[in-house]
Structure formats: C-alpha cells, structure tokens
C-alpha cells in the first residue's frame, strides 16, 4: 500500500471538506477517488473501508441521510427544532 | 396539552371494527408514557389537514454507525412539544423472532428508560422497532442495548437487517436452516450493516421453502428460497386417508397443480416430478401425505423491491439450485461479485434490480460471471430475456 490508512483518511477528510455544501459524497465516491488516485494495484476497497472507519470512529466525519447515505462533516441538523 | 386529553375524532374511527387498532394501543399507553397525547394529537391534526407533520432527520445516529436510527422531528413542535424529537431506533431482531420472556422484558425496560415505551414488534424490515426518542437518549439507549447483547439494525444505504422464516425451528418444510443462515450472514457482513457502503439499500431474506413466509421474492434484493431437487416424498396411506376424509383430490389437488403434473385415479396419486415446479400447493393441501424431497437446498433470486424511486419488482432466478451445505459459500462468493458490479455501475438510489433492468440481465450475468440457464425466465412458457451472443 502506497499510503498509510491514516493518510488515506486524511485525504478523504479533505475531499469531504472541500465538497461540503456543493456535492454530497458517498462511501463509494471516496473509495473510487482514492483508488483512481493511487492505482488499483496499490490500494484495495478494504483499505478505503478502514480509512472511512477511522473518520467515523474519531467523529471527524458523520454519516448523513438525504434519501441515501452520505459522508459529511458533522453539522447542525437542519430539521431539528431550536 | 398537559392534562386534558386530546380530541381524536378522526383517529377514533380507526378503533371501530374487529381488528387490532394502533390508536387503541397508544391510548392504553397514555398511563405510562407522556408522549402519547401529543403523538395522537399530531396525527389527528395530519388527518384533519391531510398533510404529514413529520420531518426527516439527516444525521442523528450513534457514534460510528451510519444506520439503525431514523431521525424524526415534528414540524409543529410548539403544539406538540413531547414529540418535537421522535426518532425511531431499529434493533436487530434475533433470527426467526424467538425471545425469552426475559429478553422481551429487558428490551421493554430499556425503552421505558430511554424512549416513549412504544414499540412495533416487528416492523416490515424485520427489526424490533423502538418508536420515538430524543437525540440525547440515543447513545445511552444504544449502550444499554449492547450491554444486554442487542445491536442496532440497518437503515440508509447499507445491508439491511437480514430476516428469515422460522425454518427448522418449527417447520418441517424448511429445505435449509434459515435461522442459521440469517444469523451467519448478519455476522459476516457487520461492516456493510452498520457503515453504509452502497448506492442504496440491500436486503437479504431467507425462506425455507417456496411458501416464502418472509415474502423474499417480493422484498429482498437477494431472495434465498428453499427448494428440493429430487421427488416429492409421498405416503400413499396418508393420501388415501385424505380422500377418505372427503378431500377432493382430483379437484383440489391435481386440478390446482399449475403444471397439471399430478394424476389421481381414485386410489393412487401419481406425480410426474419432472414437470413439478415446486410450488408447494399439493404439499400444503396434504401435509401428512406429501413433503418436499430429501435432496434439499435453495434457489437464489435477485432484484426484488417495493416501489419507492421506481416501481415494484419481483426477484428473478440467479442460481436455480444450491445444495444446502454449499449455500453459505455460494452466497458469499456471488454477493461479492454482485456488490462490486453495483458499486461500480449503480447510480445513487438505484437498487440492484433496477440496475439489472437498465443494463440488461445478459450484461449483468456476464459481469458477475454466471452462465445463462433456462430457469432464468420471468414465467414458465415465457420468452427468456437472455440473448445469446452468436445469434445477435
Ligand atoms: C409450406 C410452408 C410451411 C410449412 C409446411 C410449415 C410447417 C411448420 C411446422 C410443421 C411447424 C411446427 C409446428 C409445431 O409443431 O409447433 C411450424 C412452425 C412454425 N412456422 Fe411454419 N411452415 C410453413 C411456412 C411458414 C412461414 C412462411 C412462416 C413465417 C413467415 C412460418 C413460421 C413458423 C413459425 C414462427 C413456427 C413456430 C416455431 C415455434 O413454435 O418454435 N412457417 N411450421
Ligand atoms: C414484427 C413482426 C412479428 C413479431 C414482433 C412477432 C412476435 C412474436 C412473438 C413475441 C411470439 C411469441 C413467442 C412465444 O411466446 O412463444 C410469436 C410467435 C409466433 N409468430 Fe410471430 N411475430 C411477428 C411476425 C410473424 C409473422 C409474419 C408470422 C407468420 C407469417 C408469425 C408467426 C408466428 C408463429 C407461428 C408463432 C408461434 C406461436 C406459438 O409458438 O405458439 N409471426 N411471434
Ligand atoms: S417459508 Fe416454508 S419453511 Fe419457512 S416457515 Fe414458511 S412454510 Fe415453513
Ligand atoms: S408442488 Fe406444485 S407443481 Fe409440484 S406437483 Fe405439487 S402442485 Fe404440482
């Protein structure tokens, strides 16, 4: 593997941060982007899965539901009452 | 709303008639749960105005999980403050829905402490459904659930909580151990269950025979339906006993066999098993006389769904027969290829059945490396939708 899982998580985090508010990313989108960047032989789907898990378990990212499930930064719930 | 009971003129209509009524049940729970009046009040308002007053929450959940909690907020929280937050928690049910009374008490006590106390046993997903709690209660409730040996089920774009018929626990027709299979698949794919990796939801349902008691053919992206390969087991003495007791075997058994492959000469029942499509009709009609064969296994079918984004689909045959002892390995191998294909080509919110319709069954089979077989038809005597390359 060309990068460590932590590095991978960091890159995914940056992607989520940059696209936040413009485009919602799914787990599959992050995985595809990373594999495209590092090449199929260098990175597996499982590596990406572990990186996503790091993001979730640390609370840096959360799963959000907008019809389907997306990965976003933690944010205030839009529909929650004040 | 504190003391006075809400007026529920329209909802009261739902208490009439001989059927169980959720309105009656929620009213009963008023004594113990403060949310009931507001819940009924908000629903009555919806009935009056003919609009829903629930908003969907997007991010509530427990740490690390992307499923299991469905966020709900009232859009009229000033009127009904007790249901301002009303999140649902899905709790993964035990295979076949068997509980000790102690387990049920444990679940109810947890929910009395952390939620409305209202449950739905079970939701159509199969899960134990805990109805109505506040965001702050989610983590403490989850903690107590896991300490008691329970876990959340699936929601969102993940593998949903698998479900199974009671199978071998109670039913002699089970052609494989549905409860074990359901349990094993649940454990095998914990990651896919809790951390949504897919374009949309994916459901497994396991039925032990073609009676399909969990309706997997209509509801599961992967339907696993028990069947047999050899002849129907037949006990002639019992057949005669049914006839003696007045069962019209000609009319009600042979006459309703979809392939007309049974003959009754008044004394002896003959089945042309080659033509039998394993519909279970004759076995259901004469359970003491007939039974599924001894060479048992399951048919794997793919692509069913209820109408949400697009219309409903029934699943269609993927593998006509897998022997019971090879089932787990076959499913695991096949599903990884199906998920890879769906990950690669599925559009957002596209179920696997819809993807197959879009790209064509032939291309799908090609991609997952399965050969077309004559059983892959929409109905007997219908056109196969497989096109062989040489003829194209
Ligand atoms: C002298 C002229 C023809 C003779 C003697 C003839 C004879 C037959 C016979 C014996 C069958 C088999 C029936 C069965 O057992 O199912 C058949 C089927 C068929 N014929 Fe002809 N046929 C003739 C002309 C045609 C023509 C001109 C066409 C089309 C333009 C045609 C189209 C078909 C089709 C589509 C089938 C059905 C095949 C199937 O069910 O698989 N036939 N014909
Ligand atoms: C655009 C033109 C045509 C189309 C789309 C068409 C379509 C079909 C279809 C879908 C079937 C049913 C196959 C099955 O379910 O078993 C069929 C059967 C048949 N067609 Fe055609 N057909 C066409 C023209 C013709 C013509 C011109 C003839 C005869 C001159 C013909 C004769 C037959 C026969 C004999 C059968 C067999 C019925 C059977 O097997 O029971 N067809 N056709
Ligand atoms: S699906 Fe078949 S095996 Fe399962 S409970 Fe129903 S009748 Fe029995
Ligand atoms: S199982 Fe169905 S198709 Fe088979 S013999 Fe019985 S009634 Fe006929």
Residue pointed to by tokens 């907008």: A66
Q: What mean pLDDT is predicted for residues B361-376?
A: 87
Enter the tokens of residue B11: 């909802």
For chain B, give the mean pLDDT: 93
| CA atoms within a 13 Å half-sphere pointing along the CA-CB vector of B73 | 16
Among B26-40, B48-62, B166-180, the range with the most confident prediction by mean pLDDT is B166-180
Q: What mean pLDDT is predicted for residues A9-15?
A: 95
List the single best residue of B85, B157, B335, B337 to mutate versus A (max A Cβ within 10 A): B157
Phi, psi of B123 (to 5 degrees): -70, 170
B364: left (phi over 0), alpha (psi -120 to 50) or beta: alpha
Q: What mean pLDDT is predicted for residues B332-354?
A: 95
Q: What is the pLDDT of residue B233?
A: 98
Q: What mean pLDDT is predicted for residues B146-154?
A: 97
Q: What is the pLDDT of residue B59?
A: 79
Please name the member of B56, B63, B197 whose beta carbon is closest to the beta carbon of A79.
B56
Partners of residue B349 in chain A, C-beta under 8 Å? 67-68
Asked if the Cβ–Cβ distance from B157 to A26 is below 8 Å, we say: yes
Q: Residue B91 is inside which H or E element, if any?
A: strand B88-91
Helices within chain B (DSSP H only): 9-12, 22-29, 36-49, 101-114, 138-147, 178-188, 190-194, 216-219, 236-244, 281-285, 327-345, 352-359, 361-368
Phi, psi of A75 (to 5 degrees): -150, 170
Atom of ligand 3 nearest to the CA of B209: 2
Instruction: Tell me the pLDDT tens digit for each residue of A29-59.
Output: 999 999 999 988 889 999 999 999 999 999 9
Q: Check pocket membership of B212 for ligand 3, CB cut-off 6 A.
A: yes
The CA B246 to ligand 2 mean position distance, Å, reads 46
Instruction: Reply yes or no on whether the pLDDT at B1 is more than 60.
Output: no
Q: Of B86, B102, B92, which is closest to residue B33 (Cα–Cα)? A: B86
Q: What mean pLDDT is predicted for residues B39-59?
A: 93
Query: Residue B304 — pLDDT band, cuts 50, 70, 90?
Result: very high
The CA B362 to ligand 2 mean position distance, Å, reads 23
Which residues, other chains included, contact B34 with Cβ-Cβ below 8 Å and sequence gap of 6+? B82
Residues B335-348 as b/e (b if ≥16 CB within 10 A, e otherwise) read beebbebbbeebeb
Region of poorest pLDDT, from B138-147, B257-266, B367-376: B367-376
Q: Which of B173, B283, B284 has the most ligand 3 atoms within 8 A of CB, as the residue to mutate?
A: B173
Q: What is the pLDDT of residue A14?
A: 95
Enter the tokens of residue B367: 């991609």
Q: Are B332 and B322 in contact (CB under 8 A)?
A: no
A29 Cα to chain B: minimum distance (Å): 9
pLDDT above 90: percentage of residues in chain B: 86
Please name the member of A49, A53, A77 whose beta carbon is closest to the beta carbon of B59.
A77
Q: What mean pLDDT is predicted for residues B51-61?
A: 89
Atom of ligand 3 nearest to the CA of B164: 4
Q: What is the pLDDT of residue A1?
A: 65
Nearest C-alpha in B relative to A31: B197
Coil/strand/helix, residue B362: helix
pLDDT above 70: percentage of residues in chain B: 95
Q: What mean pLDDT is predicted for residues B370-377?
A: 80
Q: What is the pLDDT of residue B3?
A: 47
Q: Are B96 and B164 in contact (CB under 8 A)?
A: yes
Q: What is the pLDDT of residue A48?
A: 94
Nearest C-alpha in A relative to B53: A79
pTM above 0.90, yes or no: no
Q: Check pocket membership of B209 for ligand 3, CB cut-off 6 A.
A: yes
More confident position, A78 or B198: B198
Q: What is the pLDDT of residue B308?
A: 80
Instruction: Reply yes or no on whether the pLDDT at B4 is more than 70.
Output: no
Instruction: Reply yes or no on whether the pLDDT at B379 is more than 90.
Output: no
Helices and strands: H and E segment counts in chain B = 13, 14
Q: Which of B279, B286, B293 has the most ligand 4 atoms within 8 A of CB, as the residue to mutate?
A: B279
Query: Residue B385 — pLDDT band, cuts 50, 70, 90?
Result: low
10 Å CB burial of residue B160 (0-12, 13-18, 19+) is buried
Q: What is the pLDDT of residue B378?
A: 62
Q: What is the pLDDT of residue B392?
A: 46
Instruction: Tell me the pLDDT tens digit for each residue of B72-129.
Output: 999 999 999 999 999 999 999 999 999 999 999 999 999 999 999 999 999 889 999 9
Asked if the Cβ–Cβ distance from A28 to B197 is below 8 Å, we say: yes
């Amino acid at each position: 593997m060309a990068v460590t899982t932590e590095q991978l998580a960091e890159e995914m985090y940056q992607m989520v941060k940059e696209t936040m508010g413009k485009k919602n990313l799914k787990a599959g989108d992050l995985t595809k982007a990373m594999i495209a960047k590092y090449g199929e032989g260098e990175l597996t789907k499982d590596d990406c899965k572990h990186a996503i898990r790091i993001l979730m378990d640390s609370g840096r990212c959360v799963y959000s539901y907008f019809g389907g499930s997306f990965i976003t930064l933690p944010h205030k719930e839009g529909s929650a009452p004040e | 709303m504190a003391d006075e009971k809400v007026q529920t003129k329209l909802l009261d209509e739902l208490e009439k008639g001989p059927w169980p009524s959720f309105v009656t049940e929620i009213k009963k729970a008023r004594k113990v749960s403060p949310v009931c009046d507001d819940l009924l009040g908000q629903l009555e308002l919806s009935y009056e105005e003919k609009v829903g007053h629930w908003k969907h929450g997007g991010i509530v959940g427990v740490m690390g999980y992307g499923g299991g909690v469905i966020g709900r907020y009232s859009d009229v929280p000033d009127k009904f403050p007790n249901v301002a937050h009303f999140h649902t928690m899905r709790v993964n049910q035990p295979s076949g829905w068997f509980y000790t009374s102690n387990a049920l008490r444990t679940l109810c006590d947890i929910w009395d402490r952390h939620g409305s106390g209202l449950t739905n046993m079970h939701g159509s997903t199969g899960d134990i459904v805990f109805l109505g709690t506040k965001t702050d209660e989610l983590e403490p409730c989850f903690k107590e659930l896991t300490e008691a040996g329970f876990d959340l089920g699936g929601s969102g774009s993940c593998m949903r909580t698998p479900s199974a018929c009671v199978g071998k626990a109670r039913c002699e027709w089970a052609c494989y151990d549905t409860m074990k299979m359901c349990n094993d698949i649940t454990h095998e794919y914990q990651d896919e269950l809790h951390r949504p990796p897919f374009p949309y939801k994916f459901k497994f349902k396991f039925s032990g025979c073609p009676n399909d008691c969990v309706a997997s053919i209509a509801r599961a992206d992967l339907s696993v339906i028990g069947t047999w390969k050899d002849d129907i087991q037949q006990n002639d003495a019992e057949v005669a006993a049914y006839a003696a007791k007045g069962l019209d075997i000609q009319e009600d058994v042979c006459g309703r066999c979809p392939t007309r492959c049974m003959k009754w000469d008044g004394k002896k029942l003959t089945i042309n098993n080659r033509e039998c499509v394993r519909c279970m009709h004759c076995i259901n009609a004469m359970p003491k006389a007939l039974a599924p064969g001894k060479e048992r296994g399951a048919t794997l079918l793919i692509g069913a769904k209820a109408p949400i984004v697009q219309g409903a689909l029934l699943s269609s045959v993927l593998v006509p027969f897998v022997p019971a002892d090879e089932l787990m390995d076959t499913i695991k191998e096949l599903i990884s290829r199906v998920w890879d294909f769906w990950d690669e080509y599925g559009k957002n919110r596209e179920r696997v059945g819809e993807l197959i319709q879009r790209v064509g069954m032939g291309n799908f089979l090609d991609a997952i490396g399965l050969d077309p077989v004559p059983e892959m038809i929409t109905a007997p005597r219908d056109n196969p939708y497989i096109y062989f390359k040489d003829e194209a």
